[in-house]
Amino acid sequence: MTRPLTIAIDGPAAAGKGTLAKRVAARYRLPYLDTGLLYRAVGRQILAGGVDPDDPQAAARVARGLDVADLDDPTLRGHEAGELASRIAVHAPVREALVAFQRGFAARPEGAVLDGRDIGTVICPHARVKIFVTASAEVRARRRTDELVAHGRRDVEYGRILAEVKARDERDSGRDVAPLKPADDAHLLDTSQLDIDAAFRAACDVVDRVLAAQDGH
């Protein structure tokens, strides 16, 4: 029996893992889940409902009521939602409420592609392929700045974005529950000097090599 092809793609903010994961999912004809949207959706609902994002139990109640349709909100891609997502992700009850959702998605018979920050270490530790996508903080801040400007923002300061990227890295890497780090068997992919096409080719090379080795070829 063929094992499901579960591909875990992790990495820090603005490393390019989301765009990469979507293209990898299309290439291998697998369903795709951007797990970061789960936390962004909870954060958005917390904001809309006037809930304290630093209250773990209150945030967890919102998380337990999340529906997959909530992930279609276009505002979830915004900077504010991203900051809220990072704040609530430190709460263990919130993570517990969302882990089952992610694992259920990953358990599909054909497999799936999931991207996030702890897919290879916590959500899918037995994924057939694990890739940790990274880039320097400076490159990631420049990408985020350019993205915001392209979406019409004119009040964007690179220095402020860089400080936020570094602060978020420290918060995500230093949290007690499922900190951001590569799995021991993850393949590192530094995209600092790569455009998306080159990064995609490199990711597919990783997947193909791992599958060939597992299949004994």
- What DSSP assignment string belongs to 77-111? GSHHHHHHHHHHTT-HHHHHHHHHHHHHHHT-TTE
- Average the pLDDT over each of 18-22, 146-150, 198-202 and give the range with the smallest value: 146-150
CA–chain centroid gap for 195, Å, is 19
Instruction: Determine the pLDDT at residue 151.
Output: 83
The reply to whether 19 sits in an annotated binding site is: yes
Superfamily of domain 1-16+114-208: P-loop containing nucleotide triphosphate hydrolases (3.40.50.300)
What type of residue is 135?
Answer: A
13 is in an annotated binding site: yes
Q: What contacts 198, CB < 8 A, 6 or more positions away?
A: none
- Residues in a beta bridge with 195: none
Residue whose pair of structure tokens reads 């599909």 in the numeric block: 108
Q: How confident is the model at residue 80 (pLDDT cuts 50, 70, 90)?
A: confident
16 is in an annotated binding site: yes
Give me the mean pLDDT over the 74-93 stretch: 85
User: Could you tell me the residue ranges of all domains in the chain?
Assistant: 1-16+114-208, 32-107
Quote the percentage of the chain above a pLDDT of 90.
65
pLDDT tier at 63 (50, 70, 90 boundaries)? Answer: very high
- Find out whether 12 is annotated in a ligand binding site: yes
**E strands in the chain:** 5-10, 32-34, 111-116, 129-134, 187-190
Taking residues 165-194, what's their average pLDDT? 89
Residue 15 marked in a binding site = yes
Mean pLDDT for the chain? 91
Residue 18 among known ligand-binding residues:
yes
pLDDT of residue 185: 96
Is 14 assigned a ligand-binding role in the annotation? yes
pLDDT of 1 > 70? The answer is: no
Residue 217 pLDDT = 56
| Distance (Å, whole) CA 97 – CA 205 | 34
- What pLDDT band is residue 180 in, cutting at 50, 70 and 90? confident
Taking residues 114-118, report their average pLDDT.
92
